[in-house]
Structure 1
Amino acid sequence: MKASSRFAIAAALGLIVGVGSANAADLGGNCCADLEERIAELEATTARKGNRKMSLTITGQVHRTVLWWDDGHSSRTYYGLDNTNSSSRFIMLGSAKVNPKVSMGFEIMIEIEAGGTSSKVNQLDEDGKIAHSSPLGNNVSFNQSNVDSYFGDARRVAWWIEHADVGRMTVGRFDSAGVVNTIDLGGIGVVASSSFALVNGSFFLRGSNGQFFNMTWANLVDPAASQGRVELVRYDSPNWQGFIYSASIAEAGDYWGHMLRYANEFNGVRVAAGIGYEKSTDRATPVTVDPTNTSFIGPRPNITAWGGALSLMHVPSGLFIQGHYQTADFNDPGHVANGYWGSTGGATKKDADQWLIQAGIAKNWFGIGNTALYGEYGRANDWGAETNGRNFAGATACTSPPFTGLCANNFSTIAGVVDTEVTVWGVGLSQNVDAAAATLYLGYRNFSAEVVGREGTTATNATVVPPTVTVTATGTHRSIPVEDFHAVIGGAIVRF
């Protein structure tokens, strides 16, 4: 601020304060100098934008929860976890008008992952930082001091340009157009996400005799990879009669998708729906860079997925019902693993699908915001199965840095898995607190699994790196007895 501007402000304030005061002149010449000094101090301590053309908004949320779990043989409570259903994050938004029709802007969204998160903790680690769940490696835990290299990750870093009549183009790291997950008119997604693995995904399945299987719940359900965030170019159309069309292309043209969404209201009934399709032929990058590696020159992956969602709410009563269906085709028997949609294992990975239905009532009964009561039921099929059988070995060598030599020891093997099915049901409530831009919640989910395979002997890990692993599994395929998993989460999300 120029000196002349500061003196003008000071003079104006002096006139306002001094009206009707017989003693105003007694303040002497120090009044304006004092005020100018304070203005200068405020200028020095206030967050600044880099320029005056682009607006800047800083927003985000803090989302922490308490998780109680029971795996059929043990139970514990983990306190203060970040809830991956909608993780803590901060967001910087910018926009500027080029002319009445055209605007430009940006979005930077940083997810906070300091400490334990609900999708990474398990029975053996309340921090979620052991090798099975973390890029920090086997010897690093947040019990250690000054470990901050896992602070967060960039969910979105992108700029956009928009024409009011043509639509918006986004360039950078952003959500791809593709499979549509559950659309949440009921407002319960913070406690009951349509992605089943976001609360208990890293927990190991337990057998009827208490044994640990080297199989996690995330191996058996939708891997929450739909509408993946990736470096891309995306187009979103203007809203036309409630419809918005989106398309994106990413990687080197090896990942693309389309999406159509709709929202409207008719005679007090709110309607929201969407459907999307995506395809990935992107190769996985091997640990060792080698131009002769089949990962570079061999067959490409060919993975397709589509999914749709519908949500209805009767506004006067608050009654709602919503759900989704999604499926992934892994090109069995020509499957080439690349990580998309849980794409792992051998060439015969089975096609997989998942669906979820939620219903309830959301009303502002107490005057502080909507209270939502809900129930839900869903199923995930064959995410962990292969036509020729998939092995979940009791001891496995991890060969990718920083995981070299890290293994799951003394776990029981399930070999030749040809069918998996997970049934999920739950109940809960959420309470909006509009005055604080917050939501409180409490929810319960029950997970039950059917796994068809052959249970083998527990492999013993040798001390060499990599260890020698022997999987012994004989006999015909049968349903392996596994325990249900129970999860109760209670917490709050506070938005700013």
Structure 2
Amino acid sequence: MKQVSGYLPVTLVLGAFLGLSSMSLAADLGGDCCSDLEERVAELEATTARKDNRKVSLTISGYVAQELTWWDDGAESNAYVHGLGPTQATHVKFTGEAQFMPGWKAGYTLRIQNLSDNPFGRNAATGAAINQSSPDFNQGLNVQMSYWYLQSKDLGKVSIGRQADASKSVAMFTDQSGTQIIDNYTFLAGFPQFGIRRNGALVPGFTWGQLAYCYSQNVPLGGDCDGLVMNSVRYDSPVFGGFSVSASWGEDDDWEIAARYAGQWNAFKVQLGAGYSENTDERISGTAVMTSKDSQFFQAGGYVEHQPTGLFVHAAYGREDNNNALLTNGHTAPASHQWYVKSGIRRRWMPLGATIVYGDYVEYDDQLGPTALALGATGSKFSRYGGGIAQEIDAAAMTLYLKYQHYDGDVSGAQALTDLEGLDLVSVGGLINF
């Protein structure tokens, strides 16, 4: 992360002073004084982020994350190089901030993410996606967030623009193990567009995402069903004793509330979060799958770590109620839920940084998508389990990791969807912060 103040002239003056000192020494030694000064000034200019407004500080941050994944669906195997899905993808964030009176500040955030190799996405018109027949899906650069805010130390923060709504990822973000980005209960780092096989053959149009479908967003997200980024107004309270609350309204229409807690209980690090949202926008993802929408989503999560030993557990739960909404294909959207647990140990066994070893399990119950319902499915249980190891490299702000995942699905009500074959995935990847 690089922070730039508005005092470029001061920096140049200091650089010139140092250059003049070196020039005197160079003259005594018979060197080229002016060339030395010009090189020093050029070096300072090259390492300074310029901006015209010197009253607002500018912070540039983000990370780059890529994986190599080997997969085997029982009949075919291959290896793909790809990024992580939306929100978790490689990105750069620009944050500006200025204090305009004691206890008050104003600022803005612009976050641009790279979806040039997005394993989560799918083109609704053409069906293009990363799956067994395609290793690539390019959605290019995306302005994920762009908003401004006013913040009071005593009254809280109000934000307006394209941003994360109040309860977005409130359960998932409680995971403080160091593996939240690379492995969580959503499909953001998974492959929802991979087809499912039965007796060695792909079932036409039937994907793993159809067993982990969220109608709040009309996408196969798995968990964090209403984890929206949209044009909205959001309020965040100050933190009192580790507690804070948030509320937001986004067009057209989604409203959310959330509560968070972070603290230390004796030798235990604790983080908790819960949120509730209601969404009535049929075209929230650009493609309407409901004739009339009234989706509610509740989520809660927590993380506890025993710091002397590094042993930890993270859990999350979500429930979506769609009020028997009628879909455009004539079927009824079901109520569904999911739950997730991750446990392991986080210890610094070597000078490089902490090592995290973990195992996890997630279950998606009755999260049937429109295609699954059209094929006759009346109930489902999709389980995903695995684990991995991650090594943090503090000196490079980097994490290297190896993880394994297995998908397994059971469907009731449709003979054509029985005896489904599983999917195995092994990924090695890296994430470096800046």
- TM-score when scaled to structure 1? 0.75
Maintained 8 Å contact 1:370/1:432: yes
Q: 1:374 to 1:5 in 2, by over 3 A?
A: closer
Partners of 1:91 and 1:17 in 2: CA distance: 40
Aligned residue number for residue 369 of structure 1: 353
| Structure 1 match to 2:430 | 492
What's 2:274 paired with? 275
Conserved in 2, the CA contact under 8 Å of 1:359 and 1:376? yes
Instruction: Mark the structure with the bigger radius of gyration.
Output: 1
What is the CA–CA distance in structure 2 between the aligned matches of 1:100 and 1:110, rounded to whole Å? 31
Question: Could you tell me whether the CA contact under 8 Å between 1:385 and 1:418 is conserved in 2?
Answer: no
Cα distance, 1:454–1:434 mapped onto 2, change above 3 Å: same
Which of 3, 19, 23 is the matching residue for 2:28? 23
* TM-score normalised to structure 2 length: 0.85
Partners in 2 of 1:218 and 1:5 — Cα distance? Answer: 53
Distance verdict in 2 for CA 1:286–1:61, change over 3 Å: closer
Deviations 1:266-325 (A, max 9, x none): 11101100110000112328999xxxxxx9xx9742111101001100001000001100
Mapping of residues 168-179 of structure 1, within 5 Å: 168-178=157-167
Unaligned runs of 5+ in 2: 1-6, 122-128, 214-219
Aligned to 1:381: 365
Q: Which residue of 1 aligns with 2:300?
A: 308
Aligned to 2:171: 181
Point out where structure 1 has 5 or more consecutive residues left out of the alignment: 130-149, 289-294, 338-343, 392-414, 457-478
Cα distance change on mapping 1:190 and 1:484 into 2, 3 Å: same
Task: Name the aligned partner's letter for residue 423 of structure 1.
Answer: S
Q: How much does 1:59 deviate?
A: 1.3
Q: Which residue number in structure 2 is paired with residue 156 of structure 1?
A: 145
Aligned mates of 1:193, 1:274 — CA distance in 2: 15
Q: CA RMSD in A?
A: 3.1
Q: Deviation per CA, 1:428-450, whole angstroms, max 9, x where unpaired?
A: 11111111001011111111101
Over 3 Å counting, the alpha-carbon distance change for 1:309 and 1:100 in structure 2 is same
Q: Partner residue of 1:356?
A: 340
Q: How does 1:314-463 map to 2 (within 5 A)?
A: 314-332=306-324, 335-336=325-326, 346=330, 348-384=332-368, 390-391=373-374, 415-455=375-415
Give CA deviations for 1:41-61 in whole Å, capped at 9, x if unaligned: 864895311310111111111
How many Å separate the matches in 2 of 1:63 and 1:423? 26
Q: Alignment partner of 2:190: what SS? A: helix
Q: Note closer, same or farther for the CA distance 1:365–1:484 as it changes in structure 2 (3 Å cut).
A: same
Q: Which of 48, 61, 64 matches 1:62?
A: 64
Quote the offset at 1:36 in angstroms.
Answer: 5.8
SS where residue 57 of structure 1 aligns?
A: strand
Q: Once structures 1 and 2 are overlaid, which stretch shifts more, 103-112 or 203-212?
A: 203-212
Give how far 1:454 is off.
3.1
Identify if the C-alpha distance between structure 1 residues 425 and 34 changes in structure 2 by more than 3 Å, giving closer, same or farther.
closer
Pair 45,207 (structure 1): closer, same or farther in 2 beyond 3 Å: same
Q: 2:132 matched to which residue of 1?
A: 123
Q: Aligned residue for 2:212?
A: 221
Spell out, residue by residue over 1:118-173, the C-alpha distance to the aligned partner (whole angstroms, 9 max, x if none): 664110101135xxxxxxxxxxxxxxxxxxxx322122111111000000111111
Please identify, of 99-108 and 117-126, the stretch whose mean Cα deviation from structure 2 is larger.
Answer: 117-126
Q: CA deviation at 1:480?
A: 1.3
Say which of 52, 55, 61 aligns to 1:53: 55
Q: Please identify which structure carries the higher strand content.
A: 2
Kept after mapping to 1: 8 A contact 2:210/2:367: yes
CA pair 374-22 structure 1, distance change in 2 beyond 3 A: closer
Percentage of identical aligned residues = 31
Decide whether aligned partners of structure 1 residues 114 and 17 sit closer, same or farther in structure 2, where only a CA change above 3 A counts: same
What pairs with 1:189-204 in structure 2 (closer than 5 Å)? Answer: 189-196=180-187, 198-204=189-195
